[in-house]
Amino acid sequence: MSALEEIRNRFKNDHFATDAAGIVIDSAEPGKAVCSLTLEERHMNENHVPMGGAVFTLADFTCAIAANGYSEKKTVSQHASITFLAPAKGKRLIAEAASLRDGRTTTLYTVDVRDELGTYVAHGTINGYVLG
């Protein structure tokens, strides 16, 4: 089994992200991850654009994969901030998370969310806390 398959298998129990939202882990390496979400009616708000909660869930889950995919440490979100930049125009959202700092007790990640057409949908920063 490849490392990516092992990570997908390990995170399949994150049912909200994988089952309810339908997020897929596309790639992972230490401190980085890419996840995607094919947009469906269930992800849309009243204005028929992806609901902020769907975009945020994608960003948060992608950060979790980047922080925990290749690590023996368990990192949880301590603080998250997201700025919504534009409504998605495409049918698929892609999030890329990257570590800016991986400390002994805290971490800092950035997450960029775009659609498959290149629309920059959201930018987030997530501080993580490393559990003892």
CATH at residue 19 = 3.10.129.10
pLDDT 10s digits, 5-23: 999 999 999 999 999 999 9
Q: Which two tokens stand for residue 70?
A: 């290749």
Q: What are phi and psi of 59, to 5 degrees?
A: -65, -45
Q: Is the dihedral of CA 118, 120, 122, 124 positive or negative?
A: positive
Name the pairing type of β-strands 120-130 and 32-38: unpaired
For residue 67, the enclosing domain spans 3-130
**Tally of domains within the chain:** 1
pLDDT 10s digits, 28-77: 999 999 999 999 999 999 999 999 999 999 999 999 999 999 998 999 99
For the whole prediction, is pTM greater than 0.85?
A: yes
